Amino acid sequence: MSDRLQKVMSQHGVASRRQAEKLIAEGRVMVNGTVATIGQSVDLAHDEVVVDGVTLTATTGELIYLMLNKPCGFLSTVRDDRDRRTVMSLVSDVGVRVFPVGRLDLDTEGLLLFTNDGDFANILMHPSFEVEKTYEVHVVGDARQAFKLLRGSFEIDDRVVQAVNVELVSYSEHGGVIRITIKEGRNRQIRRMCSRCGVSVRSLKRVSIGLLNLGELELGKWRFLSENEVKGVAHGNKPIL
């Protein structure tokens, strides 16, 4: 049965639908020997789809869901044309091809999800689902004043954004730790918000996505999501009783 190319790519663990569209737009996807177009319909039973020289097979295999505690210094991408380190090297022992859901900046650590289930990735990434993400921010400067200002609204990339929740965890005369929960995902949003509040970010760590919490997972390690965690995402990040 035929389906849109970006959907087929996401279902086969190549990338999320949004990332798949980018690969197609960059001319890195071929269908039957011809450069593919976004929205093109394909059927792997009859069509040959090649992404960066790798041919997709008609079988999807087992659906996999996992979380990684990403260290700083790794790009949140499947591959990099400048041969920089990517998060894929940290999950190379999974045994199944997966892709990162969303991204964390090179200098940000913490919770990053991986899957080969495009629908699961779409629930977490699409703005309409408004999935909350919480970050632990170590700042330098007046943390108490920043805490007050961070509860306001900000214009970033021509859009007004506002944190869902801001908590002052600790502070000293030199800085402090602030937990910030947001629903948007603007480029370097947390760092830009903090900069406008007069503090600089010393370190930034994502500790939760919806109901999924990093917990005690060691830096650089990964674990599979439990069945209830996966179901919670599928049900709009509501607890499964």
Q: What fold, for 132-209?
A: Alpha-Beta Plaits (3.30.70)
DSSP calls for 104-141? --TT-EEEEEEES-HHHHHHHH-GGG---EEEEEEEES
pLDDT, greater one: 130 or 196 = 196
Domain spanning 3-55, CATH class: alpha beta
Residue-wise pLDDT for 52-107, tens only, equals 877 776 655 688 999 999 999 999 988 787 889 999 999 999 988 888 988 899 99
**With 90 as the cut, is the pLDDT of residue 7 above it?**
no
Furthest-apart CA atoms within the chain: distance in Å? 66
pLDDT, greater one: 120 or 144 = 144
User: pLDDT at position 241, please?
Assistant: 34
pLDDT, greater one: 189 or 236 = 189
User: pLDDT at position 236, please?
Assistant: 58
Residues known to be catalytic: 105
**Residue 184 — very low, low, confident or very high, per pLDDT cuts 50/70/90?**
confident
**With 90 as the cut, is the pLDDT of residue 205 above it?**
yes
**For the domain with range 65-128+211-234, which CATH number is right: 3.20.19.10, 3.10.110.10, 3.30.70.580, 3.40.50.150?**
3.30.70.580
pLDDT, greater one: 57 or 153 = 153
169: closest CA among 196, 200, 134, 130?
134
Q: Could you give the 3-state DSSP secondary structure of residue 152?
A: coil
Same fold, 3-55 and 65-128+211-234: no
Q: Are 4 and 116 in contact (CB under 8 A)?
A: no
Q: How far apart are CA 123 and CA 119, in angstroms?
A: 6
pLDDT, greater one: 211 or 219 = 219
Percent of the chain with pLDDT over 70: 94
Would you kindly state where each structural domain of the chain is located, as residue ranges?
3-55, 65-128+211-234, 132-209
Question: What value does the mean pLDDT take over residues 11-32?
Answer: 84
Q: Are 189 and 135 in contact (CB under 8 A)?
A: no
pLDDT, greater one: 208 or 236 = 208
**With 60 as the cut, is the pLDDT of residue 240 above it?**
no
